[in-house]
Amino acid sequence: MAFMVTSFLNFILLFSLASTGNSLSYNYYEKTCPNVEFIVAKTVRDATASDKTVPAALLRLHFHDCFIRGCDASVLLNSKGSNKAEKDGPPNVSLHAFFIIDNAKKAIEAACPGVVSCADILALAARDAVFLSGGPGWDVPKGRKDGRISKASETIQLPSPSFNVSQLQKSFSQRGLSLEDLVALSGGHTLGFSHCSSFRNRIHNFNATHDVDPSLNPSFASKLKSICPIRNQIKNAGTTLDASSTTFDNTYYKLILQGKAIFSSDQVLIDTPNTKNLVSKFATSQDAFYKAFVKSMVKMSSINGGQEIRKDCRVVN
């Protein structure tokens, strides 16, 4: 374990020394908060040590943040008065791990007050979550600002688990993301858990002809039906997104090819030749998946539209 911790911190040191010429910068905090990456990494590592679901939660938080108003930490803001914030929108009510960002922010404010945005902390935490789950490491461009607007009504813009390929493609392209970005970033579903509500439509009363989605592997569909019966009484019933749900690997793509993807929006990735070719490529080569995922994560996490550096990640200044 000591070796793993040392390796992780060496990885953080390696990346904190790089630089770029973009509007975001790899060495943005080099002079103003040089230990920011160590602080975030330690916070994520400590939380993960006691709860293996933390990495999936942090990665999902970052995705859901970036798809609404860019990566501006608007997903972290609390509802106030008559304004219902993003975190209370229907697709976001199951988000968790907000406390990890709070803990990192508190430690960073003690070291370098008023310097590091919550949006940057969340982007770094998502990277650390992937790395600590056995996935690739990458340098995160920094310099995002935090947004001042967060509306639950805008969460309707998030891709739905029932989307088809054309709906997914439209959603991603509106954010400057390509078809390869779509398939690579969908691989984030190698981590995590889904409640029955997100896939119930595939296993009960699918359409007028089929009770079960015919693209589902029959034995897998039976297993899902046993977990989520039509009159399910268990509040948090659901299943992991793949068998190695705490390990960042390419199992997700192999399951799609077997008809064992949980979400319809994952299974449809083999409905068109271009997306199916990418699914097959990533299922065959974990290295190819890692390289594509890193490239697409940097691209997605660079969408920004914030205005300030929040003192408290849950409220605007």
User: Is 249 known as a binding-site position?
Assistant: yes
User: Is 46 known as a binding-site position?
Assistant: no
Residue 282 to residue 299: CA distance in whole angstroms: 19
- ∠ CA(301), CA(269), CA(256), 5° rounding? 105
Number of H helices, E strands in the chain: 13, 2
User: Is 128 known as a binding-site position?
Assistant: no
User: Is 96 labeled as catalytic in the residue annotation?
Assistant: no
User: Is 70 known as a binding-site position?
Assistant: yes
User: Is 88 known as a binding-site position?
Assistant: no
User: Is 65 known as a binding-site position?
Assistant: yes
User: Is 189 known as a binding-site position?
Assistant: yes
The 8-class DSSP code of residue 84 comes to P
CA quadruple 116, 27, 296, 307: dihedral, nearest 10: 40
Q: What share of the chain is helix, strand, coil (3-state, %, to 5)?
A: 55, 5, 45
User: Is 296 known as a binding-site position?
Assistant: no
Question: Pick the catalytic residue: 64, 96, 204, 210?
Answer: 64
First-residue to last-residue Cα distance in the chain: 40
User: Is 159 known as a binding-site position?
Assistant: yes
> Computed over its alpha carbons, how large is the radius of gyration of the chain?
19
CA 254, 257, 259, 261 dihedral sign is: positive
Alpha-carbon separation of residue 20 from 34, 41, 143, 199 (angstroms) = 16, 21, 12, 41
| Binding-site entries for substrate | 159
| Binding-site entries for heme b | 189
| Binding-site entries | 65, 70, 72, 74, 86, 159, 189-190, 242, 249
Which are the catalytic amino acids? 64
| Binding-site entries for Ca(2+) | 65, 70, 72, 74, 86, 190, 242, 249
